[in-house]
């Protein structure tokens, strides 16, 4: 039983520091490697053969491949990342705007159409056409999901006036 036992005082503070430094550098290396691989796939200006060549270079010779890629295409890498972040922000803003505005279900649109018909704002023929457009846009089961469709509401019936929503059921 001559196996030495290492205690906390047997591992000096500088050795702990170097071990942590190597560990974090190793993690940073993998983050950089994955970012380069993701950028290779994200870049639309590269063709399939060029993407495959860069990927083989990065996988076969990882250190050299990543450093050459960063030197050759590093500036474009940052630009593509900024463009992707802006596109994601625009998509998120559009989603929030659409959600805050609130969608109308086919039942809501049919209610408004029915009220407009009852007030005499639209004719029976216009009501039928608008009702067919609502059913075509939302489908038979979309009324429960609250989907929206541009140009199918009462505003597109040609009357020029929009109806108010109440709790009246469609006729």
pLDDT tens digits for range 145-157: 444 444 444 444 4
Distant-in-sequence, close-in-space partners of 127: CB < 8 Å, separation ≥ 6:
113, 114, 116, 117
**For residues 57 and 46, is the Cβ–Cβ distance under 8 A?**
no
pLDDT tens across 67-126, in order?
Answer: 999 898 888 888 888 998 999 999 999 888 878 876 667 787 888 889 989 988 888 999
Q: What are phi and psi of 78, to 5 degrees?
A: -65, -40
**pTM summary value:** 0.48
Residue 118, H or E segment: helix 106-119
């Amino acid at each position: 039983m001559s196996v030495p036992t290492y205690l906390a005082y047997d591992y000096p503070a500088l050795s702990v520091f170097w071990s942590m430094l190597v560990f974090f550098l190793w993690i940073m290396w993998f983050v950089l490697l994955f970012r380069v691989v993701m950028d290779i796939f994200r870049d639309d200006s590269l063709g399939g053969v060029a993407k495959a060549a860069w990927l083989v270079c990065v996988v076969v010779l990882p250190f050299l491949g990543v450093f050459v890629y960063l030197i050759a295409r590093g500036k474009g890498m940052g630009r593509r990342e900024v463009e992707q972040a802006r596109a994601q922000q625009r998509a998120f803003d559009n989603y929030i705007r659409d959600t805050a505005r609130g969608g109308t279900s086919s039942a809501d649109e049919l209610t408004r159409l029915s009220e407009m018909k009852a007030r005499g704002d639209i004719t029976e023929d216009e009501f039928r056409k608008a009702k067919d457009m609502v059913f075509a846009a939302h489908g038979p089961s979309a009324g429960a999901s609250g989907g929206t469709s541009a140009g199918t509401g009462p505003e597109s019936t040609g009357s020029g006036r929009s109806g108010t929503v109440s709790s009246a059921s469609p006729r």
